[in-house]
Structure 1
Amino acid sequence: MPTILGQNQYGKAETRVVKVVRDGDTHHLKDLSVSVALSGDMDAVHYSGDNANVLPTDTTKNTVYAFAKERGVESAEHFGIELARHFVASQESIHRARVRIEEYAWERLAGHSFARKGQETRVAEITYDGARWQVVAGLKDLTVLNSTNSEFWGYAKDRYTTLQEAYDRILATDVSARWRYGWDGAAADGSAAAASAPAPDWNRSYEETRRHILAAFAGTYSRSLQQTLYAMGTRVVEHRDEIEEIRFSLPNKHHFLVDLEPFGLTNDVADGAVYFAADRPYGLIEATVLRDGADARIPVDTTTL
């Protein structure tokens, strides 16, 4: 049966790079994991093993290190933009570059001493086709919990339903969020001129978006995790003009009241309740919140980011 080559890409995944900038006795640390995927005129290497159009993946790794040294790491997004532009502009056979970055945060203990933060991981995905950009940023593994102001009742029931309705429960989740910026590098007249339009302040946008996500989680009286998700997304889109859409993947980290009756004890939420924190199975709530009129472009499977 005849075959043809479909969509394909190649590159170097999870290049770990740590950049230290010394400002006297005060040091500044950036800790990244960078994955590069390249695509373009790659038929020959698949059909006949002709490597003429293939930039070695080892070269992409070396480029990550060289750019970290020569150009620095202002932000995950800016660093990814620099890399993507380089690969597309410098190699005629490469038509599209995708750069995915995870940034690991460190807390300063002293001028040159740090402790790895135990909160979320910052992520970014930059795609460039030689004319326009798509920047998707986000975070993962941000664990949050409300010890009250959450209910879950009035749901559909059938013969297999055993879950008891809850009118005062713990709501906890590990927030995984991705948001897409409206900036694509085009000029004001719509022409595809890279860097003609000013890029957002990536670091400030990240911090403010994170702040709005947490504020909405803390400030929403929740009757379902879906309601809380929508409130978080709505607050981000309404307060951050540079963001067109935001997608959440929220596992419901269930906390169940422990049955203490066999020990002659009551376990009431109003009197120091004890819960069992279940890690699996768990409910998984996912949805995208869009600016009115925007097209959804963030992949549904956020784990691929």
Structure 2
Amino acid sequence: MPVLGQNQYGKAENRVLKVTRDGAVHHLKDLSVSVSLSGDMDAVHLTGSNAHVLTTDATKNTVFAFAKEHGIDSAERFGVHLARHFVDSQSAVTSARIRVEEYGWERIAGDGPGGHSFVRTGQETRTAQITFDGTDLTVVSGLKDLVVLNTTDSEFRGYVKDRYTTLPETDDRILATQVHARWRYSWTGGEETAPDWDACYAATRGHLLRAFADTYSRSLQQTLYAMGARVVDHRPEIDEIRLSLPNRHHFLVDLSPFGLKNDNEVYYAADRPYGLIEATVLREGAEAAIPVDLTNLP
């Protein structure tokens, strides 16, 4: 006999752009917000009764209304407001998960006195996931599609070789990856103790980049651990960070047919297949809680 298992529903990828007008100077927050609700929802699946269903259209409208009523000072705080609202206002909803992607904009130089012209930044996308079960909040911030590259200080040798191994060893290679990172805060609620979300994001991003740049890499795994460890060492409010690093391979081009020597100067970039290196770095004593989420892979 079939039995209903885990289920949830909501409205995905609600695009909301919030303009805050500070006189002639304007400020932008550009988000994609996905709402997922779970709880006492068996009847709608088994009998078709909608008595406990808050419509997905209502969840969409709530996102836009909260952008007006509460403003958007950070992706995390906005998600906390939404998660608490859905659980506290709907008796059938026992858990809410809010996922947020934030897209960056910067002012166009020479924008005159008004300060209302922007250009979309093209580096990474900021992410956040907020889960509320009526008691505890779990906030997982992150970023994706942050592309970084070292032109040297990377080698790869001493690995296992079998009959199918063709990759030559190298003591000087390009190391490039597209960073996907998620980090979990120890904070579980209480406005008076909430982190400064924007400052934490900027600092964590900075530590990831610094570790990537400063680590002499013998493998992408080693670099990954150095990046995660630096975050845990320097950010006491973070208990766990999960990193997914696809290896963006760059191979030396054989220029010998043209009578030319390639002294680690000319490469071709192979976009696929790619090595995929993933791991979680935890604060000592903490338990892993960030799920493996294949939707974050490139």
Same fold (TM over 0.5): yes
Give the one of 252, 256, 268 matched to 2:263: 268
Count of residues in correspondence between the two structures? 292
Give the one of 115, 122, 128 matched to 1:118: 122
Within a 5 Å distance, the mapping from 1:155-304 to structure 2 comes to 155-185=159-189, 195=190, 198-269=193-264, 273-303=265-295
Q: Which residues of structure 2 form unaligned runs of 5+?
A: none
Quick one: distance in 2 between partners of 1:142 and 1:59? 34
Give the one of 110, 128, 144 matched to 2:148: 144
**Offset at 1:19?**
0.2
**Offset at 1:301?**
2.9
CA contact 2:180–2:296 (8 Å) conserved in 1: no
**Offset at 1:5?**
1.0
Quick one: distance in 1 between partners of 2:32 and 2:53? 23
**Offset at 1:24?**
1.5
CA contact 2:154–2:216 (8 Å) conserved in 1: yes
Q: Is residue 78 from structure 1 mapped to residue 77 from structure 2 by the alignment?
A: yes
Quick one: distance in 1 between partners of 2:43 and 2:25? 51
Quick one: distance in 1 between partners of 2:37 and 2:292? 22
**Offset at 1:304?**
5.5
Q: Which residues of structure 1 form unaligned runs of 5+?
A: 186-194
Structure 1 runs (4+) greater than 6 angstroms displaced? none
Quick one: distance in 1 between partners of 2:250 and 2:51? 57
Give the alignment's TM-score, normalised by structure 1. 0.94
Partner of 1:66: 65
CA contact 1:249–1:302 (8 Å) conserved in 2: no
Quick one: distance in 2 between partners of 1:255 and 1:196? 47
Quick one: distance in 2 between partners of 1:227 and 1:157? 20
Q: Deviations over 1:143-170 (max 9, x none)?
A: 0000000000111000111101111110
Quick one: distance in 2 between partners of 1:302 and 1:292? 26
CA contact 1:77–1:125 (8 Å) conserved in 2: yes
Counting aligned pairs with the same residue, the percent is 71
Partner of 1:188: none
**Offset at 1:196?**
6.4
Calculate the aligned-residue CA RMSD, in Å: 1.0
Partner of 2:19: 20
**Offset at 1:198?**
1.1
Partner of 1:89: 88
Give the alignment's TM-score, normalised by structure 2. 0.96
**Offset at 1:197?**
5.7
Q: Deviations over 1:17-68 (max 9, x none)?
A: 0000011221100000000000011111111111010000000000000000
CA contact 1:41–1:53 (8 Å) conserved in 2: yes
CA contact 1:96–1:129 (8 Å) conserved in 2: yes
Structure 1's 242 and 105: CA in aligned 2 closer, same or farther, altered over 3 A? same
CA contact 2:4–2:42 (8 Å) conserved in 1: yes
Within a 5 Å distance, the mapping from 1:25-36 to structure 2 comes to 25-36=24-35
SS of equivalent residue, structure 1 residue 153 = coil
Quick one: distance in 1 between partners of 2:250 and 2:158? 19
